[in-house]
């Protein structure tokens, strides 16, 4: 509910503490993976703190997700919910836009991630993934997370920016620069050459210059990549992206197009190695499909068990633990008043382990998503790894296609196992991954 300013004294602020002056509890938030759980145990499902320079309210549960993502959507801003570093490094892209400008630009971007575009992306994704898996099998033993990031970045670079697949040096350099940029997203904003933030600013400028050159090339030579689609895209009113807008949208897509997918696929490999009965069932589904026809887009639609497995990976290993929003209208939730100018964080990972929604929530159990159980349908907004409501992830179908192609080819043609004596505890920055990077032995053949 909204609240009149003169009546706000009737409602208390959420319980909690702001910590130290200026830095608040930021260091504990970053370093302690159980920060939120400890606070929730002490204060309940809504509590206040001060992190990343702002008073912040944590809100826990599907009801809170529904409140933030749908029923009170207009009380919150994406732009105001993220650190200034994001605005500086990723620009005025869709990620940080609100209201009508977001809706208009989302419509312009939509064709690049749905329908005919996905069909055109299929063969390129398959070729890159197939080549990568063969390389990994030749390596025999590898640390999966950085190798996975290299693969997903190549897919994003080729399909979104139009990089040539055989130009390995260019793709490697772009990946290196992008790694430097992402390290600056949560860094202290000290613009010095030796700091992560200073390096990130230089990497941003390098990437934007590269994208600008690609835009110039596309003007006379359109391809089946996203930059070409954006140059042609227009909405029902005839609006088009300017070149400056295409630059920042392309940079965002490069970020969104590989970071979370890397995390999900790494978790997929870890979870199936740890749950052999799930892996065998997933292999059986792939064998059945292999007997029907060649590997095609049509087969992707028949992978019902793989769908369940990927949903369970999303539930138990969400790439991002929560979503920030800036409060642009004060509100009351569960009897507590939250002022304008604060920010909220809805806790994705905590909702996904709610025992009131999910049976044995710590267990990896894809069957919870089968047609008989459908546990995520008990309560709206109980599975939100890709967001929800009007801001549901625009690239979800793109990511699903990429993940299914990878999972299918891996299950059909390779075997893998985890190497012993490694740290499988999870680090959440920049996205969820095992601290060891996930060391595996991988070889071809079933």
Whole-number pLDDT of residue 8:
60
What is the DSSP pairing of strand 343-347 with strand 54-59?
Answer: parallel
Beta bridge partners of 322: 347
Name the more confident of 304 and 170. 304
Q: What is the pLDDT of residues 342-382, one digit of tens each?
A: 999 999 999 999 999 999 999 999 999 999 999 999 999 99
Q: Does 116 reside within a domain? A: yes
In this predicted structure, the answer to whether residue 409 has a pLDDT above a threshold of 90 is yes
Q: What is the CATH number of the domain that holds 345?
A: 1.10.630.10
Q: Does 25 reside within a domain? A: no
Q: Mean pLDDT over residues 52-69, rounded?
A: 94
pLDDT bracket for residue 5 (50, 70, 90): low
In this predicted structure, the answer to whether residue 9 has a pLDDT above a threshold of 70 is no
Whole-number pLDDT of residue 273:
98
pLDDT bracket for residue 161 (50, 70, 90): confident
In this predicted structure, the answer to whether residue 445 has a pLDDT above a threshold of 80 is no
Three-class SS of residue 3? coil
Whole-number pLDDT of residue 4:
54
In this predicted structure, the answer to whether residue 6 has a pLDDT above a threshold of 50 is no
Q: Does 35 reside within a domain? A: no
Q: Mean pLDDT over residues 384-402, rounded?
A: 90
CA 175 to chain centre: 17
Number of domains in the chain: 1
In this predicted structure, the answer to whether residue 155 has a pLDDT above a threshold of 90 is yes
Q: Does 259 reside within a domain? A: yes
The verdict on whether residue 269 carries a ligand-binding annotation is no
In this predicted structure, the answer to whether residue 197 has a pLDDT above a threshold of 50 is yes
In this predicted structure, the answer to whether residue 212 has a pLDDT above a threshold of 50 is yes
What is the DSSP pairing of strand 331-333 with strand 141-143?
Answer: unpaired
Please, what is the average pLDDT of the chain?
Answer: 90
In this predicted structure, the answer to whether residue 113 has a pLDDT above a threshold of 90 is no
Q: Does 222 reside within a domain? A: yes
In this predicted structure, the answer to whether residue 199 has a pLDDT above a threshold of 60 is yes
Q: Does 144 reside within a domain? A: yes
Domain residue limits at 90: 60-444
Q: Which residues contact 57 (CB under 8 A, 6 or more apart)?
A: 14, 46, 47, 48, 336, 338, 342, 343, 344, 345
Name the more confident of 408 and 96. 408
CA 93 to chain centre: 16
Name the more confident of 306 and 179. 306
Q: Mean pLDDT over residues 317-321, rounded?
A: 93
- 89-93, 195-199, 366-370, range with greatest mean pLDDT: 366-370
Q: Mean pLDDT over residues 184-205, rounded?
A: 88
Whole-number pLDDT of residue 18:
95
Q: Does 34 reside within a domain? A: no
Q: Give the CA-trace dihedral at 367, 370, 372, 373, to 10 degrees.
A: 60
Q: Does 48 reside within a domain? A: no
Whole-number pLDDT of residue 394:
86
Whole-number pLDDT of residue 243:
86
């Amino acid at each position: 509910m909204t609240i009149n300013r003169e009546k706000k004294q009737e409602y208390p602020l959420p319980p909690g503490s702001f910590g130290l002056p200026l830095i608040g509890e930021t260091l504990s938030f970053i370093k302690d993976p159980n920060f939120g759980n400890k606070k929730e145990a002490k204060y309940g499902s809504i509590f206040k703190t001060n992190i990343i320079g702002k008073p912040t309210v944590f809100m826990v549960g599907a009801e809170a997700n529904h409140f933030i993502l749908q029923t009170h959507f207009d009380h919150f801003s994406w732009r105001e919910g993220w650190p200034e570093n994001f605005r500086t490094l990723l620009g005025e892209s869709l990620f940080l836009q609100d209201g009508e400008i977001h809706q208009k630009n989302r419509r312009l971007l939509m064709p690049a991630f749905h329908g005919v575009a996905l069909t055109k992306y299929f063969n390129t994704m398959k070729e890159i993934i197939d080549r990568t898996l063969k390389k990994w099998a030749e390596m025999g033993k590898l640390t999966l997370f950085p190798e996975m990031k290299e693969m997903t970045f190549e897919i994003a670079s080729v399909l979104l920016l139009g990089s040539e697949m055989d130009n390995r040096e260019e793709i490697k350099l772009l990946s290196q620069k992008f790694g430097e940029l992402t390290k600056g997203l949560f860094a202290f904003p000290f613009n010095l050459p030796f700091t992560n933030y200073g390096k990130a600013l230089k990497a941003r400028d390098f990437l934007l210059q590269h994208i600008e050159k690609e835009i110039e090339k596309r003007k006379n030579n359109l391809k089946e990549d996203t930059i070409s689609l954006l140059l042609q895209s227009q909405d029902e009113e005839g609006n088009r992206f300017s070149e400056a807008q295409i630059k920042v949208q392309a940079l965002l897509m490069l970020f969104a197009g590989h970071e979370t997918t890397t995390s999900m696929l790494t978790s997929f490999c870890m979870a199936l190695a740890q749950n052999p009965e799930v892996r065998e069932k997933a292999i059986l589904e792939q064998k059945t499909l292999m007997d029907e026809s060649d590997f095609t887009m049509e087969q992707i639609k028949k992978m019902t068990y793989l769908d369940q497995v990927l949903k369970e990976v999303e539930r138990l290993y969400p790439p991002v633990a929560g979503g920030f929003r800036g409060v642009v209208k004060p509100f009351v939730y569960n009897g507590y008043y939250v002022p304008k100018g604060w920010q909220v964080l809805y806790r994705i990972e905590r909702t996904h382990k709610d025992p009131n929604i999910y049976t044995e929530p710590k267990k990896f159990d894809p069957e919870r998503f089968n047609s008989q159980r459908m546990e995520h349908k008990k309560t709206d907004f109980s599975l939100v790894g890709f967001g929800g409501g009007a801001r549901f992830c625009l690239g979800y179908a793109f990511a699903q296609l990429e993940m299914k192609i990878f999972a299918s080819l891996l299950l059909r043609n390779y075997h893998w196992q985890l190497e012993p004596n490694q740290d499988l505890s999870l680090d959440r920055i920049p996205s969820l991954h095992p601290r060891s990077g996930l060391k595996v032995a991988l070889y071809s053949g079933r």
